[in-house]
Amino acid sequence: MKKKNYIWLVVLVVGTVLVLLRQNNIISWGEEAATYHNEKGLIFGTMYSITYEHEKSLRLDIDKELGRFDASLSMFNDSSIISRINRNEDVTVDSLFTKVFHQAMKISEATDGNFDITVAPLVNAWGFGFTENISPTNAKIDSLLQIVGWQKIRLSSEGKIIKEDPRIMLDCSAIAKGYAVDVIADMLKSKGVKNYMVDIGGEVDVAGVNPTGNLWRIGINKPEDDPLSRNQSLQTILEVSGLGIATSGNYRNFYYKDGMKYAHTIDPKTGRPVQHSILSSTVIAKDCMTADAYSTAFMVMGLEKAKSLVESHPELDAYFIFSDENGNFQTYMTEGMKKYVTE
């Protein structure tokens, strides 16, 4: 065979192999190479930002999943399942609500009721729901405490929420955002995405690496009063991958009235905003839903009880920022958290 014909034969064979590989999605041409995308928007009354590496935008898939969540667990949607439950309408819960409900009950039991999704009436009474900023009387608080308690509700086998009292209302905002993060992360993984960061209102799930090829870097803000979210001062930075991260704090959602500061974290046992020394609670767990719920529970429990609980749960890591007797910021972290912290 002449050399010229041999070269053309090699070119033909190589070209045919490349086409077959492309048709079977084993390789892609340069114009469809994977790149990082960023999708932003609003859900649950907060902002989300989703960064991921894929050959095309997955915005439609993301919107579909967030739409399912909005229709199930958003208290900002009057026609959502949770809104209808709170109005005592006859409604059957979906799989999203079911997963959140069962995990909420599990964490309520594990935290001795310091995490409680029936706290909604108290949240509203203190002006952090859909009412104006008010200070309820002691009699009002005592009255509302009668309809608060995670053991006063259950999910029937028919998918119905059963309440001991029809005045009981649910608020899943301290766990639903975390689960929404997990659902979006699972959807991305089902599309073959290996590198992503899903952030919904500060609750985060990350996997793989960021666009620079390094581990994702998640900042923990200093807990300075910042109702407009303008504070960019960081207490520390975490480098993580393959985990869920959530932070709760009383430095953003609060108000002052008659010289008193009222923070949005309500103790379901006392019926009042928490006054503990913990200013910020960051939790790392295998999934964001768990991290979300525990970060809130630790804010309610206070420093010593939170430290005791997290140290008895090796599957969790925590970073607490608290105020000492002189009003100075101090920190506590679990031994496992140290490997994520970078200065």
* pLDDT value at residue 39: 97
DSSP string for 51-88: EEEESS--HHHHHHHHHHHHHHH-TT-TTSHHHHHHTT
pLDDT in tens, 283-337: 999 999 999 999 999 999 999 999 999 999 999 999 999 988 887 889 999 999 9
pLDDT of residue 229: 53
CA distance 105 to 150: 7
* Interacting residues of 86 by C-beta distance below 8 A, sequence separation 6+: 75, 120, 169, 170
Residue-level pLDDT at 331: 94
Average pLDDT score over residue span 82-96: 98
- Mean pLDDT of the residues in the chain: 85
Per-residue model confidence (pLDDT) at position 25: 42
Q: Taking 70 as the threshold, does the pLDDT of residue 3 lie above it?
A: no
Query: 131-160, pLDDT tens digit by residue?
Result: 555 677 889 999 999 999 999 999 999 999
pLDDT of residue 324: 85
28-42 confidence digits (pLDDT tens): 444 445 799 999 999
Which domains, ranges and CATH numbers included, belong to the chain? Answer: 3-32 (no CATH), 35-342 (3.10.520.10)
Residues contacting residue 108 through CB under 8 Å, at least 6 positions apart: 115, 116, 117, 150
Q: Which residue has the higher pLDDT, 235 or 197?
A: 197
At 246, give phi and psi (nearest 5°). Answer: -140, 145
